[in-house]
């Protein structure tokens, strides 16, 4: 006999972990080698913020195992195969990856291992229902969220597994956690020139026990008001679980089991988890949608390019557009590595429909800054907002920054917190373009960079052009 290898990726926890149970079974008395590979394919597009959270998540995982991870670096095809062959193991176990690069990598690793008679077992996934499982009446993918959710709810297995007894095998590492900051973020786009890079000073605590406490606190109170509070910018009304779901320090099954109530808050929360699963399913069926519009006709939409457009993009990214709620949201992303969902919809809509820029520029910036940056949710959150994706009434939905501010930040609590230079200007005046700054005020805040009404008309004109062609 020989130990099995559990290769951790987006499953940095010990509870509710089907792949860990399988690794324990296959390793038997010889135990389990816990492995993590510093893989540049995934580290390169992550900015310093997500890289820092990854590092903390791995430290927390090691602490909870009471045994070190075996850390390797480089191409997993070589790294995993050499380790498995060197240890004489017969089984490598992973939680399945359904993303475009992740599933291709796993196919290549499985093939390389196969040459040595070693099996790669793909067990479960970071989702309640593996992408590709939910099917429509005709057997094809389900294109609309509500239909997806109805079918997904019926399939979803919500049995939460306990932490098994594991005998961890300590295999010396050939890499170190200290290398993460150097290996991450190596593919920084030139478009981001001069944009701030430093991670937020305070990152949320990482690791499984933090995720469980967060979930518990959320389910003890805020979930009852979630249906309403999740829209209010200044209220901590959402769960903030997204970084943990991203790195798997929490599985969505555990979250669903904790939020099993029948009231409206719990129902809406489960529906948001279903959006995450829907977008993973859409990406699985349309891997090209990372860079191509899901609706091919929208590829004809005219977007601006060139130095002036790039400068407009950078003002947006720095939170200097002169539209207070847009800037407050973009500054939240810089300050916290997280942004309120309504802020994400508003700022994405603003980039595409008021600044007439390519949604992929914005999606890349989000992926760079977000701790929870997730290819499926981010790509399709952007495509939905840009009107190129799964939204049923797509391009006409143009978020009005003023209406959003009046409804969801009427007292300007959020705007004041994120833009200190506007803190002396009272609501509702401060919510106006330019923050209501006049000649008598000393506030150092930019005037609005665009006329919202004129650019809204321009967006609709460009939409009409796509139909005329």
Provide Rg for the chain, Cα atoms: 23
Contacting ligand FAD within 92-151 (CB under 6 A): none
CB 367 within 8 A of CB 45: yes
Instruction: State the nearest-atom distance from the C-beta of 438 to ligand FAD, in Å.
Output: 33
> Which element (helix H / strand E) includes 443?
none
CB 46 within 8 A of CB 185: yes
Contacting residue, 313, 382, 395, 414, with ligand FAD by CB under 6 A? 382
When CB distances to ligand FAD are compared, the closest residue is 381
Binding span for ligand FAD by CB under 6 A among 58-66, 79-87, 376-384, 428-436? 376-384
Instruction: State the nearest-atom distance from the C-beta of 448 to ligand FAD, in Å.
Output: 22
Closer residue to ligand FAD (CB): 124 or 379: 379
245 sits near ligand FAD (criterion: CB under 6 A): yes
Closer residue to ligand FAD (CB): 382 or 395: 382
197 sits near ligand FAD (criterion: CB under 6 A): no
Contacting residue, 21, 240, 251, 353, with ligand FAD by CB under 6 A? 240
- What would the two tokens of residue 213 be? 């406490």
- What would the two tokens of residue 408 be? 């969801």
CB 241 within 8 A of CB 215: yes
Q: How many residues bind ligand FAD (CB under 6 A)?
A: 27
CB 331 within 8 A of CB 319: yes
270 sits near ligand FAD (criterion: CB under 6 A): no
Closer residue to ligand FAD (CB): 240 or 331: 240
Instruction: State the nearest-atom distance from the C-beta of 176 to ligand FAD, in Å.
Output: 28
Pick the closest to residue 120 from 67, 83, 72 (CA basis). 83
**DSSP-derived pairing of the beta strands 32-38 and 91-94:** unpaired
Cα end-to-end distance, the chain, whole Å: 66
Contacting residue, 381, 394, 401, 435, with ligand FAD by CB under 6 A? 381
Binding span for ligand FAD by CB under 6 A among 23-31, 65-73, 271-279, 407-415? 271-279
Instruction: State the nearest-atom distance from the C-beta of 35 to ligand FAD, in Å.
Output: 25
Contacting ligand FAD within 275-294 (CB under 6 A): 275-276, 279
In angstroms, rounded to a whole number, what is the distance separating the alpha carbons of residues 10 and 126?
Answer: 7
Closer residue to ligand FAD (CB): 176 or 392: 392
377 sits near ligand FAD (criterion: CB under 6 A): yes
Instruction: State the nearest-atom distance from the C-beta of 434 to ligand FAD, in Å.
Output: 25
242 sits near ligand FAD (criterion: CB under 6 A): yes
Closer residue to ligand FAD (CB): 73 or 282: 282
Calculate the CA dihedral of residues 100, 104, 109, 110 and round it to 10 degrees: 110
Instruction: State the nearest-atom distance from the C-beta of 227 to ligand FAD, in Å.
Output: 11
Instruction: State the nearest-atom distance from the C-beta of 209 to ligand FAD, in Å.
Output: 18
Residue 200 Rama label (left phi>0; alpha psi -120 to 50; beta): beta
Instruction: State the nearest-atom distance from the C-beta of 371 to ligand FAD, in Å.
Output: 9
In angstroms, rounded to a whole number, what is the distance separating the alpha carbons of residues 435 and 446?
Answer: 8
- Alpha helices, DSSP H, located in 337-419: 341-349, 359-369, 375-386, 401-408, 413-418
Residue 221: how many CB atoms within 10 A of its CB?
10
Site mask for ligand FAD (CB under 6 A), range 316-345, x = bound:
-------------------------x--xx
Instruction: State the nearest-atom distance from the C-beta of 270 to ligand FAD, in Å.
Output: 9
Interface residues toward ligand FAD, by CB under 6 A: 230, 238-242, 245-246, 272-273, 275-276, 279, 341, 344-345, 348, 366, 370, 372-374, 377-378, 381-382, 385
């Amino acid at each position: 006999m020989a130990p099995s290898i559990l290769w951790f990726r987006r499953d940095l926890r010990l509870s509710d972990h089907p792949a860990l149970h399988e690794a324990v079974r296959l390793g038997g008395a010889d135990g389990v080698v816990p492995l993590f590979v510093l893989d540049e394919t995934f580290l390169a597009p992550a900015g310093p913020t997500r890289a820092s959270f990854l590092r903390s998540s791995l430290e927390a995982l090691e602490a909870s195992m009471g045994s070190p991870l075996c850390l390797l670096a480089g191409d997993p095809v070589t790294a995993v195969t050499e380790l498995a062959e060197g240890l004489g193991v017969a089984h490598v176990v992973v939680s399945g990856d359904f993303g475009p690069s992740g599933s291709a990598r796993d196919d290549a690793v499985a093939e390389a291992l196969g040459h040595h008679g070693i099996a790669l077992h793909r067990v479960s996934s970071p989702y309640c229902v593996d992408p590709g499982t939910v099917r429509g009446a005709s057997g094809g993918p389900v294109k609309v969220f509500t239909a997806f959710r109805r079918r997904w709810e019926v399939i979803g297995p919500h049995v939460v597994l306990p932490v098994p007894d594991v005998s961890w095998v300590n295999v010396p590492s050939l890499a170190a956690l200290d290398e993460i900051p150097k290996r991450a973020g190596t593919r920084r786009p030139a478009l981001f020139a001069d944009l701030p890079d430093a991670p937020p000073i305070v990152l949320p605590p990482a690791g499984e026990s933090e995720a469980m406490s967060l979930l518990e606190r959320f389910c003890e109170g805020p979930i009852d008001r979630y249906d309403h509070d999740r829209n209010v910018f200044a209220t901590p009304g959402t769960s903030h679980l997204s970084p943990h779901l991203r790195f798997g320090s929490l599985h969505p099954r555990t979250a669903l089991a904790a939020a099993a109530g029948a009231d409206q808050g719990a129902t809406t929360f489960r529906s948001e988890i279903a959006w995450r699963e829907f977008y993973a399913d859409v990406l699985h069926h349309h891997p090209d949608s990372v860079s191509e519009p899901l609706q091919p006709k929208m590829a004809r939409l005219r977007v601006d390019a060139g130095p002036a457009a790039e400068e407009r993009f950078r003002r947006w990214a720095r939170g200097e557009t002169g539209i207070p709620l847009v800037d407050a949201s973009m500054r939240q992303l810089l300050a916290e590595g997280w942004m309120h969902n309504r802020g994400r919809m508003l700022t994405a809509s603003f980039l595409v429909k008021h600044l007439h820029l390519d949604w992929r520029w914005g999606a890349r910036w989000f992926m760079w800054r977000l701790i929870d940056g997730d290819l499926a949710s981010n790509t399709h959150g952007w495509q939905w907002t840009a009107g190129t994706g799964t939204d049923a009434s797509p391009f006409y939905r143009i978020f009005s920054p003023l209406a959003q501010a009046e409804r969801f930040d009427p007292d300007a609590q959020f705007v004041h917190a994120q833009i200190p230079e506007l803190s002396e200007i009272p609501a509702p005046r401060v919510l106006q373009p330019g923050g209501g700054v006049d000649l008598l005020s000393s506030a150092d805040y930019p005037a609005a960079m665009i006329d919202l009404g004129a650019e809204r008309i321009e967006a609709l004109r460009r939409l009409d052009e796509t139909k005329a062609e």
